Chain A
Amino acid sequence: MNQHTILVVDDTASILKLTRNIFEIAGYEVITAVDGDLALDILDKEKIDLVVTDILMPNTDGYLLCYTIRITERLKDIPVIIYSATYTSSSDEEMAMEIGADKFIRKPAPMDDLIAAARYLLSDARSYSHKVPEKPKSLEATRLYNEGLVNKLERRNLELEEAKVSLETSELRLREAQTIAHIGSWEIDMVTQAQHWSDELFNIYGIGKEEALPSIELFLSFIHPEDLDFARQNIGAAFETLTDSSFDFRFIRPDGALRYGFSKYRFDFDNDHKPMRLNGIVQDVTEKKMAEEALLKSEANLRTIFENSDTGFVLLNARLEVLSFNELASEWILDEGHMHLKEGEDFLSFNPPHRKELVSKMMREVLSGGYIEYEVNVPESNPLKSYYVRLRSIKNKDGKVLGVCINVSNVTERKKTEVARRTAEQELKDAHEKLLFHIENTPLGFIEWDNGLNVKSWSRRAEEIFGWSEGEFKSSKKDGYSQVYEEDLPWVSKVAEQLVTGEVSRNRILHRNYTRDGRIIWCEWFNSAMKDKDGKVITVMSLVQDVTERKLADEALTRAHERLLFHIENTTLGFIEWDNHHRVKSWSKTAEAIFGWNEKELIDSHKTALSMVYDEDLPWISEMASRLVSGESESSRLEHRNYTEDGRVIWCEWFNSVLKDKDGKVNTIMSLVQNITEQKMMEVVQREKLEKLVEERTRELNEALTKEKELVELKSKFVSIASHEFRTPLSTISFAAESIRNYYHQLSAEEIQRKLIKIEDQTSHMTNLLDDILTIGKAEAGKIKVKRISLDLKEFIESLIEEVRSIVKEQRIIQFTFSCANSKVNADDKLLRNVITNLLTNALKFSAADTPVVIVVSDLIGSILIEVTDQGIGIDENEFTAVFESFQRGSNVSNIQGTGLGLAILKKAVELMDGSIEVKSSLNKGSSFSVEIPIL
């Protein structure tokens, strides 16, 4: 490790630091000094192996330092490298060598050169011995020159530093200024096309400095689409013609805010008039624009108000020149002076000559702080117009008069109204006087009340009606209500209240009042309320009339009339009055109800009584009618047919009577009429009913007769069939008996036995037949009486099943299901036995031995249901009814024995018990009989 120490001397801090770093990297220890004096001090104290020095330094420069080292015994062999600035000349290098420098290197030198030089010098140091140089003559001069140079340089540095600080300051100020003014600046180097934007420009566009590179395209990208074409054209033209320009535009920030901008730019040219740079600014003028627009709007609003005001305005300055005016004011001047107002001209010039002096005087007064108002009629205008003019001064806040404000109102209408009102007032006054005259002279009492119905005035006639004089009534402190009859008071006070409150302005009421002497009289009141201008009732005026007599007469008449009307309207008789031509004079509601026509249409159409008469009845009715009119008869009672409005024919009963005038001539026929159609109809119906009854009876008799005949036939038929039924078993018995007797020897004992059994069988069959026939006969003759006894149905049926089983020869299955809630029933045991036994024996008889018979007994509401089902030969559907008739058997029974009476008897038994029987069956599948019997 070559631990050499190098002393680096340089007055420029940056070079000092750089050089030091270079050597330290190369492994040397480095000590630094900023000038020659300090270097010498270090050399004095430290062991230094190599000195690297600058030339130009204050106090002791590089040359002097080098020379001092060479002439100092202890230091003279230390190698010295002069490391100097580029602007040093070759004479400097000679000078360095002359004073004993080992190496001269120009700044800036590559790092390697410095290190190489240092290594070289340090390696040869021992063998190398420096001779003491002669002090060059030029050294002092050079030192002095150098010192001057250094001083100069330092001054320059200082100046530069100051300039730099000043520049920075101005740049800062510019930035601040740009921020405050919302002005951004930009420039384009026309040679390199490099662009620069100021910070504020980025701010204006609302983007960060780092977000985008400045470019014209970037600028255009912010511009509002509507302004984009204009901006492009403007910029394009500028580049083409190289002329400065400016334009307004709108732009949109990335956050969507719409802003207003103003851009201005200028080209810089070099000496050859080539464009060097394009400088521009962009100002955000949004706030200004907004304020401008608001101002314009507010101005427009004000203008609108000004123009549309119903007051005319003229504003004058202190010189009485017109500043501003509106339409109405213009109209006024036109009416008065026949001239059009103009801004900027002397107001006096618009006035007619004869008024100029007056106006001028008024203006002077106003300008000195006065206020004038006057009304003027413009007689020249047609129709006549009236204006109301006010003049006042306009002052600033210090009270200085700036001009005159004239207000004008068109008061033509108001004037007219005033005139009309005055005329009306006069008329009213006249009318009032007339009214007073009438009041005093009317037969009606006149009373004036206040709004509390206290008497204000009370005429003489009122006194006559009620007995009190005005003074008496007032002093008694009575009010209007106190004289009202108490029964009428509730409604009268209600009506009076409406009047006093102004709800109604007048009314006419009729009610009872008390008089001073306590009588009750009927009064008719005509009341009217007088209101003040606010609509408040101040006076109620009443005209009153004593109508007691009239009222009583009216009432009596009304009652009589009402009674009559009541009778006429409520009688079922129509009331009609005819004249002597049988035309309707009056026609009651009931008459309308009977005939359909109403009174009015009949009177209008002159319809006659005869036109309502049914054609067939007309001849004799005409006769009767003419007898009435001629006076031949005074009354008649007729019953005939009439037409109604809708063309129906009705039966009417008429009671007619005549009224005669004083000469005995018939002038009115009064008729009471009644619709008797229904009665007539009833008669017809009754008659028809009777006829029908007779007819029915006859038919019934005929039917009974037929039935009787049928019954006789049936009986003979029954007898014939019954005899037939007996003949077959009788034949068998007869033949069998004869065989035994006649062919006895030819027969075996067995055969004889068989024939005897056959005889017994047929005999018992015949007995059964006989029993059945007797039963049927009894039943048909109604000789069987139902006798109910209490029995246990389940046990009863079980015993019957056992009985049936014992009769039937083969072993058969009979399934019995009993599902009644209660087994105890009241029933006729004989009939029930007949039914159940019959059903079971039939089922067994007509079904195969290996099939079961099912009997199910269940209860319905109030009845029991017995169903017996077999899987036998069944019954043809067409024979369901026939099988229940006597001697009728199914067509498929073939050899199965039977009387043909079983089901007939069964049915009879069921019917006797008020029950019903139903059969369901299909051939070769089986039958099911259901019997429903009510139980008590």
Chain B
Amino acid sequence: MKRILLVEDTPHLSEEIADILRMEGYQVTVVNNGLEALALLSEAKPDLIITDLLMPKMDGYEFVREIRSMTPFGSIPIVILSARTSAADKTHGMEVGANAFIQKPCKAHELVTSIKSLLR
């Protein structure tokens, strides 16, 4: 069973995403922000990370950049799921090392498809 770490500070949204992913057969761990995620990284050993961009304490870009600088998780697939929609945001996200950039709101299967392809 593949493990997914979901970094999202909006509880009602993270609940729904987690529900869908679990029903798709993933093991999901939800954290509120980048810092929490980094702290939990070694224990949770995720196969993939989904992260929001606008979060308190550490935003998504910084979080992705941080992960990419860490040896054991340097190549872990990361999906940015954000309400930010500009092309600049998207470019920036890919530059810091995200593997996919999905806009909120999106269809569940769009997210699931993206995850599946990254985990293949």
A interface, CB within 8 angstroms of B = 720, 723-725, 727-728, 730-736, 738-739, 742-743, 746, 751, 755, 758, 761-762, 891-892, 894-895
A728 contacts B13, CB within 8 Å?
yes
Among candidates B9, B17, B83, residue contacting A735 with C-beta atoms closer than 8 Å: B17
B86 contacts A720, CB within 8 Å?
yes
Number of B residues contacting the other chain (C-beta, 8 Å)? Answer: 25
* Chain A interface helix/strand/loop/mixed: helix
Q: Which of B40-48, B69-77, B102-110 contacts A (4 or more CB under 8 A)?
A: B102-110
The residues of B that contact A727 with a CB separation of less than 8 Å are 83, 85, 103-105
B105 contacts A739, CB within 8 Å?
no
Among candidates B9, B10, B107, residue contacting A734 with C-beta atoms closer than 8 Å: B107
Q: How far is the CA of A483 from the CA of B63 in the complex (A)?
A: 126
- Knowing A724-B84, A728-B83 touch, does A742 contact B108 (C-beta < 8 A)? yes
20 contacts between A and B (CB under 8 A): A723-B83, A724-B54, A724-B84, A727-B85, A731-B104, A731-B105, A731-B106, A732-B10, A734-B106, A734-B108, A735-B20, A739-B19, A743-B19, A743-B23, A746-B23, A758-B16, A762-B12, A891-B56, A894-B9, A894-B56
Q: Which residues of chain B in 81-115 are interfacial with respect to chain A, using CB atoms and an 8 Å cutoff? A: 83-86, 103-109
Question: Closest CB of chain A to B107's CB: distance in Å?
Answer: 7
The residues of A that contact B54 with a CB separation of less than 8 Å are 724
The residues of B that contact A742 with a CB separation of less than 8 Å are 108-109
Among candidates A720, A731, A762, A895, residue contacting B9 with C-beta atoms closer than 8 Å: A895
* CB of B32 closer than 8 Å to a CB of A: yes
- Knowing A894-B56, A895-B32 touch, does A736 contact B16 (C-beta < 8 A)? yes
A728 contacts B10, CB within 8 Å?
yes
- Knowing A731-B13, A734-B107 touch, does A739 contact B56 (C-beta < 8 A)? no
Question: Closest CB of chain B to A891's CB: distance in Å?
Answer: 6
- Knowing A743-B20, A894-B9 touch, does A731 contact B83 (C-beta < 8 A)? yes
Instruction: Give me 12 other A-B pairs in contact (C-beta within 8 A), A728-B10, A730-B104, A734-B107 excluded.
Output: A724-B84, A724-B85, A727-B83, A727-B85, A734-B108, A735-B13, A736-B16, A891-B56, A892-B56, A894-B32, A894-B56, A895-B10
Give the top 7 A-B pairs by smallest Cβ distance, nearest first: A727-B83, A735-B16, A731-B105, A731-B104, A734-B105, A724-B83, A730-B105
B13 contacts A895, CB within 8 Å?
no
The residues of A that contact B84 with a CB separation of less than 8 Å are 724
A738 contacts B12, CB within 8 Å?
no
B104 contacts A738, CB within 8 Å?
no
Q: How far is the CA of A746 from the CA of B20 in the complex (A)?
A: 10
Question: Closest CB of chain A to B101's CB: distance in Å?
Answer: 14
The residues of A that contact B20 with a CB separation of less than 8 Å are 735, 738-739, 743
The residues of B that contact A732 with a CB separation of less than 8 Å are 10, 12-13, 16
Question: Closest CB of chain B to A40's CB: distance in Å?
Answer: 173
- Knowing A731-B83, A743-B20 touch, does A895 contact B106 (C-beta < 8 A)? no
Q: How far is the CA of A739 from the CA of B23 in the complex (A)?
A: 9
The residues of A that contact B15 with a CB separation of less than 8 Å are 758
- Knowing A731-B13, A731-B83 touch, does A739 contact B108 (C-beta < 8 A)? yes
Question: Closest CB of chain B to A177's CB: distance in Å?
Answer: 140
Q: How far is the CA of A751 from the CA of B15 in the complex (A)?
A: 11
The residues of B that contact A736 with a CB separation of less than 8 Å are 16
Q: How far is the CA of A203 from the CA of B16 in the complex (A)?
A: 145
The residues of A that contact B23 with a CB separation of less than 8 Å are 739, 743, 746
Question: Closest CB of chain B to A151's CB: distance in Å?
Answer: 170
Q: Which residues of chain B in 14-45 are interfacial with respect to chain A, using CB atoms and an 8 Å cutoff? A: 15-17, 19-20, 23, 32
The residues of A that contact B86 with a CB separation of less than 8 Å are 720
Q: How far is the CA of A727 from the CA of B10 in the complex (A)?
A: 12
The residues of B that contact A723 with a CB separation of less than 8 Å are 83, 85
The residues of A that contact B108 with a CB separation of less than 8 Å are 734-735, 738-739, 742
Question: Closest CB of chain A to B60's CB: distance in Å?
Answer: 13
Question: Closest CB of chain A to B77's CB: distance in Å?
Answer: 21
B104 contacts A895, CB within 8 Å?
no
B85 contacts A761, CB within 8 Å?
no
The residues of A that contact B12 with a CB separation of less than 8 Å are 732, 758, 761-762
Closest to A754 in B: B15
Max chain B C-beta neighbours (<10 A), residue from A758, A892, A894: A894
Q: How far is the CA of A746 from the CA of B54 in the complex (A)?
A: 32
Q: How far is the CA of A377 from the CA of B56 in the complex (A)?
A: 140
Question: Closest CB of chain B to A810's CB: distance in Å?
Answer: 18
The residues of B that contact A724 with a CB separation of less than 8 Å are 54, 83-85
The residues of A that contact B16 with a CB separation of less than 8 Å are 731-732, 735-736, 739, 755, 758
The residues of A that contact B10 with a CB separation of less than 8 Å are 728, 732, 895
The residues of B that contact A761 with a CB separation of less than 8 Å are 12
The residues of A that contact B19 with a CB separation of less than 8 Å are 735, 739, 743, 751
Closest to B103 in A: A727
Question: Closest CB of chain A to B32's CB: distance in Å?
Answer: 7
The residues of B that contact A755 with a CB separation of less than 8 Å are 16
Closest to B18 in A: A735
The residues of A that contact B104 with a CB separation of less than 8 Å are 727-728, 730-731
B49-80 interface bits toward A, Cβ cutoff 8 Å, 1 = contact, 0 = none: 00000101000000000000000000000000
The residues of B that contact A733 with a CB separation of less than 8 Å are 105
Q: How far is the CA of A348 from the CA of B98 in the complex (A)?
A: 163
Question: Closest CB of chain B to A694's CB: distance in Å?
Answer: 41
The residues of B that contact A891 with a CB separation of less than 8 Å are 56
Q: How far is the CA of A370 from the CA of B13 in the complex (A)?
A: 163
Q: How far is the CA of A738 from the CA of B19 in the complex (A)?
A: 11
Question: Closest CB of chain B to A742's CB: distance in Å?
Answer: 6
Max chain A C-beta neighbours (<10 A), residue from B11, B86, B105, B109: B105
The residues of B that contact A728 with a CB separation of less than 8 Å are 10, 13, 83, 104
Q: How far is the CA of A734 from the CA of B10 in the complex (A)?
A: 15
Question: Closest CB of chain A to B94's CB: distance in Å?
Answer: 19
Question: Closest CB of chain A to B57's CB: distance in Å?
Answer: 9
The residues of B that contact A743 with a CB separation of less than 8 Å are 19-20, 23
Q: How far is the CA of A728 from the CA of B8 in the complex (A)?
A: 11
Q: How far is the CA of A697 from the CA of B104 in the complex (A)?
A: 47
Closest to B112 in A: A742
Q: How far is the CA of A700 from the CA of B64 in the complex (A)?
A: 46
Question: Closest CB of chain A to B81's CB: distance in Å?
Answer: 8
Q: How far is the CA of A892 from the CA of B16 in the complex (A)?
A: 24
Max chain B C-beta neighbours (<10 A), residue from A720, A732, A751, A892: A732
Question: Closest CB of chain A to B50's CB: distance in Å?
Answer: 12
The residues of B that contact A735 with a CB separation of less than 8 Å are 13, 16-17, 19-20, 105, 108
Question: Closest CB of chain B to A893's CB: distance in Å?
Answer: 8
Question: Closest CB of chain B to A413's CB: distance in Å?
Answer: 127
Closest to A725 in B: B83
Max chain A C-beta neighbours (<10 A), residue from B12, B13, B15, B54: B12
Closest to B16 in A: A735
The residues of A that contact B13 with a CB separation of less than 8 Å are 728, 731-732, 735
Q: How far is the CA of A762 from the CA of B10 in the complex (A)?
A: 12
Question: Closest CB of chain B to A882's CB: distance in Å?
Answer: 14
The residues of B that contact A895 with a CB separation of less than 8 Å are 9-11, 32
Question: Closest CB of chain A to B88's CB: distance in Å?
Answer: 11
Q: How far is the CA of A728 from the CA of B103 in the complex (A)?
A: 10
